[in-house]
Amino acid sequence: MRALIAGAGRLGAQIAQVLAAAHHDVSLIDINPDRIAELSGSIAVPMRVGDACAPDFLEAAGAHGADLIIAATGRDDDNLVISLLAKRQFAVPRVAARVNNGENSWLFTSHWGVDVAVSTATPLVSLIEEATGATDTVALLRLSKAGVEVIETVITARSRTAGAALSDLVLPSGTVIATVVRDGQPAAPEPDMRLRPGDEVLLVSHRATEQDVQSAFQ
């Protein structure tokens, strides 16, 4: 799958990291050159600086060949324009858009080219602090075509894996660690990395359930 993500904020960066870990062809774009420079050493995906609301730039970034475009900027008006361009001008099969302001959610429909509207409270490689419930593990993104599920778990001071090296973890069958988000930044999962309270671990699995991951980490 070829995916183009517009918006290299925390959400966009996490989505890019996860999709790349699942062996998809991912590109990340952002209008802010400082943000792209900041991420250049931590995310191994192609990145470009430019305005995704501009059709010429979106085409140059690969919109014509994309299977999925995700509009994940911090502005709802930009996300709607990107979605409309993706669907109407580039005929992208799947378009997802982030809804920053819940009052605007009624706009994020097929009329604007949006197939999937993602609010800031919806788990799609979401910010874990927004997740609710009794468990610290939530399913983030199901890649139905690939049969892959992405699951996130947050390490707390009570987690039995706090302080453990990644190489010492016993993961459920068919599961790999995609990234560890520490202090808001995704990091490559090196074997000698030790988990700390506050770390957000994103895993890609063909088989494991949320409960399996909960048991492995918590």
Predicted local confidence at residue 121, as pLDDT: 58
Strands (E), the chain: 2-6, 25-30, 47-49, 68-71, 94-99, 116-119, 137-143, 148-154, 175-182, 185-187, 200-205
Neighbours of 92 (CB within 10 A): 24
Tell me how many degrees the CA angle 115-8-36 measures, rounded to the nearest 5. 150
Instruction: List the one residue out of 27, 19, 25, 22 whose CA is nearest residue 1.
Output: 25
| Superfamily of chain region 135-217 | Regulator of K+ conductance, C-terminal domain (3.30.70.1450)
Query: What is the residue extent of each domain of the chain?
Result: 2-119, 135-217
Joined tokens for residue 190? 């090196």
pLDDT tens, residue order, the chain (218 aa) = 788 999 998 778 877 877 776 677 889 999 999 999 988 877 778 999 999 999 999 999 999 999 889 898 999 999 999 999 999 999 998 888 888 898 998 999 999 999 888 776 554 444 323 322 223 444 444 444 445 677 878 888 889 999 999 989 888 888 888 888 887 777 778 889 999 998 888 887 777 777 888 888 88
What's 2-119's CATH class?
alpha beta
Distance of CA 28 to CAs 11, 141, 196, Å?
11, 18, 28
Instruction: List the one residue out of 59, 60, 108 whose CA is nearest residue 84.
Output: 108
This prediction has a pTM of 0.61
Query: What amino acid is encoded at 89 in this protein?
Result: Q
Neighbours of 164 (CB within 10 A): 15
